[in-house]
Chains A and B, each alone.
Chain A
């Protein structure tokens, strides 16, 4: 096994699962975040219909992230979940309310607005909690003897509130650019109007995080300053992608803004990974220290190599089946 660093492979796989989750559930959570601002009930119907056939599969990536962490980096699982105890509960409660809204909303007429709230608040709370988790990860965790020893609210700081809000805005941007692809007419026009504002807000958050993180964490600062010769590419690329997205929005392109938003998220995640490498449980344990037995990593890896391509295949197929616009007038009639 000396030839292959299994742990490194698993860093790649878990990162991939988290990235898949963020971009896939990101846009359907974003649809929920945008719900109250949509122009009318028909628009809400369309937006919800655009994600109804796929949201369940999207959210499965989150469960894979959790189970994958337990399998490959159990120390991360066993330290982070206790540390984020209250935050995890809020996220789960949010996901529950938002998940059942898909089923219940269309079955309710008299109290449909309750499920609108449920969908919106659930999505927003879940997105915020996920953003706070990212912030808490950057902050690091108090550990002793491979166990979390801090309090229930150590994770909740001004910094994590900011990252939480940042992710809410980011998901909203994913949601609005998705809506541009999947709708037409009035809804789409509304989405085109909203997207640049969200993009600008996200860039503002990006700026704040980029300044705040190195200032608050010496190690991150050192990492970026020491490698400035290479790492300057990240902020520059992010700005170029954002500018491309803005131009595409102005030109009323449908798919490019969504793809650009995905790229922005990829750059964020990569940037964060570079800042914290090689720590799985910052600031104490590295990925190698947090890893499970090589036998377990290998046992699962062999299965993944075979199964994940199949999963990606039929997931892509379902997206293909439900391609095209949703609209009360032409496509998805009820």
Chain B
């Protein structure tokens, strides 16, 4: 038994905490915009069906957002606990960026979420609508800053390194660093796709069951059309992001393609088992020259292979290679489902093609897997660097850490997160199974005081929904 390695364990811990956290915001960002859309339709048309949908999805939003908030607080401190040397070195940039995220986004989300959840009958309808927009905008501002920070770690700019400490030379170059634009677009679309496919899946499922038919038809039709635009667009943006990566982090692209040798006419590998130690792939199946065509827009374009870099400067190829294939595979699946749906809608068959509804109802987990896989590609592909080309991972870890401290807290986080994740999924599945019809909105009770309506957090759902106690709906 060798000694516990605090660097490896810290990496595992960080990967675990971030992966766990990431699935919540990526869903709530898309969903917040959907709720703002529904609230707008409600405000403009006054139709009950939009109120039903807005109310229902806000309920789900509240649970997921709550889990995102509590797991996100960990992130604000984990830079310091496990990566203190990195935090200190990069503080001149990361400190202000993360602080700006807090003051421009987190406060906005928190304050207006309170109004959105609890204020429907306490503020005028216009104010309630405004709150829905503020929450949605807040989620985007937040992702702007956090992706800027992450992107800077991938393609650092606007700084100079003096004695292990980063000093700013240009804020503009650092915030809008070379890979930021496409990365942000890629992430924002991923968030919309995630929210969209969850709404799509749930609506299809209600239609199969024959519950909440009117609202589910509305939701299904609007998300199908949106996704039919966004899913292909994501492929384009992803491609641009990839070209950008080829320019700034070519070794990451080499790992994504499983290319060991520098060569012209690189094949697009559909299957391979890359071996880090043997510096080659086993069981390769590929389409000749396609990778060169995609990456260089030339069938015989030259793409650099992993062997151009020293072994200790290469990312873990197997992880990057397969994460990339999972992400792209799911992306293609999403495009197929969305376009099929748009076609069915055009033919007027969207609501009664049962096999299609069944496919849709199973789509909910896939965008989450794709997002995590994409995140693995970009983060594992950055290795062995914390700040690409400037600070290595093992040089950024907290010196006073011992392996058992990290192991202990890693086990702790896993237990804590497992407990709240299990509970969260349980309550979410209860809300979803009950469906939009189960949550009618109570009007004012006429006592002359603003009475809180059925809010997102106050409904007991693990008993009979039809027999609600009079004082507790």
**A residues whose Cβ falls under 8 Å from a Cβ of B:** 49, 52-54, 56-57, 59-60, 62-64, 66-72, 74-75, 77-83, 85-86, 88-89, 92-93, 95-97, 99-100, 102-104, 106-111, 146-152, 292-293, 295-296, 299-300, 303-304, 307-308, 311, 314-315, 317-318, 321-322, 324, 328, 330-334
Instruction: Please indicate the chain B residues that have their CB under 8 angstroms from the CB of A151 in the complex.
Output: 400
- Say yes or no: A331 contacts B449, CB within 8 Å: yes
Given A67-B101, A333-B452, 20 more contacts at CB 8 Å? A56-B114, A63-B73, A70-B79, A70-B87, A71-B95, A77-B95, A81-B80, A81-B81, A82-B81, A82-B400, A99-B70, A104-B427, A146-B88, A148-B398, A152-B402, A300-B95, A300-B100, A315-B111, A318-B115, A333-B471
Most buried by A among B67, B107, B445: B107
B71 to chain A: closest residue by CB: A96
Q: Is the CB of B99 within 8 A of A106?
A: no
Is residue B236 contacting chain A, with contact meaning CB distance below 8 A?
no
Max chain A Cβ within 10 angstroms of own Cβ: one of B85, B102, B447, B449: B102
| Residue contact A321 to B115, C-beta cutoff 8 Å | yes
List of 10 A-B pairs having minimum Cβ-Cβ separation, nearest first: A71-B95, A81-B80, A74-B91, A53-B114, A99-B70, A57-B110, A78-B88, A70-B95, A56-B110, A334-B472
Complex interface: chain A residues within 8 A of B473 (CB): 334
Q: A110-B462, A321-B123 are in contact. Are A303 and B103 (CB under 8 A)?
A: yes
Q: Are A82 and B409 in contact (CB under 8 A)?
A: no
Residue of B nearest to A293 (CB): B92
Which of B113, B405, B460 is close to A107, meaning CB atoms less than 8 Å apart? Answer: B460
Query: Can you offer 14 A-B residue contacts whose CB atoms are under 8 A?
Result: A53-B119, A63-B73, A63-B76, A83-B400, A85-B398, A106-B457, A109-B460, A295-B92, A303-B104, A308-B103, A314-B108, A317-B111, A322-B118, A334-B454
**The one of A56, A97, A107, A152 that contacts B416, using a Cβ cutoff of 8 Å:** A97
Quote the shortest CB–CB distance from A197 to chain B (angstroms).
31
Chain B: interface residue total (CB-CB under 8 A): 84
Closest to A70 in B: B95
- The answer to whether A331 touches B451 (Cβ under 8 A) is yes
CB-defined contacts of A322 to chain B, threshold 8 Å: 114, 118-119, 122
From B66, B80, B100, B401, A77 is in contact (CB under 8 Å) with: B80
- Contact residue among B84, B96, B104, B106 (Cβ-Cβ distance under 8 Å from A296): B96
Query: Which residues of the other chain, B, contact A328 by a CB distance below 8 angstroms?
Result: 471
Out of B118, B401, B416, B472, which one reaches A85, CB within 8 Å? B401
Distance in angstroms from A122 CB to nearest chain B CB is: 10
User: Which residues on B are within 8 Å of A, measured CB to CB?
Assistant: 62-63, 66-67, 69-74, 76-77, 79-81, 84-85, 87-88, 91-96, 98-104, 106-115, 117-119, 122-123, 167-168, 171, 398-402, 405, 408-409, 412-413, 416-417, 420, 423-424, 427, 430-431, 445, 447, 449, 451-452, 454, 457-463, 471-473
Give Cα distance in the complex from A75 to B80, angstroms. Answer: 10
Tell me what chain A mostly uses at the interface: helix, strand, loop, or mixed.
helix
Q: Is the CB of A71 within 8 A of B91?
A: yes
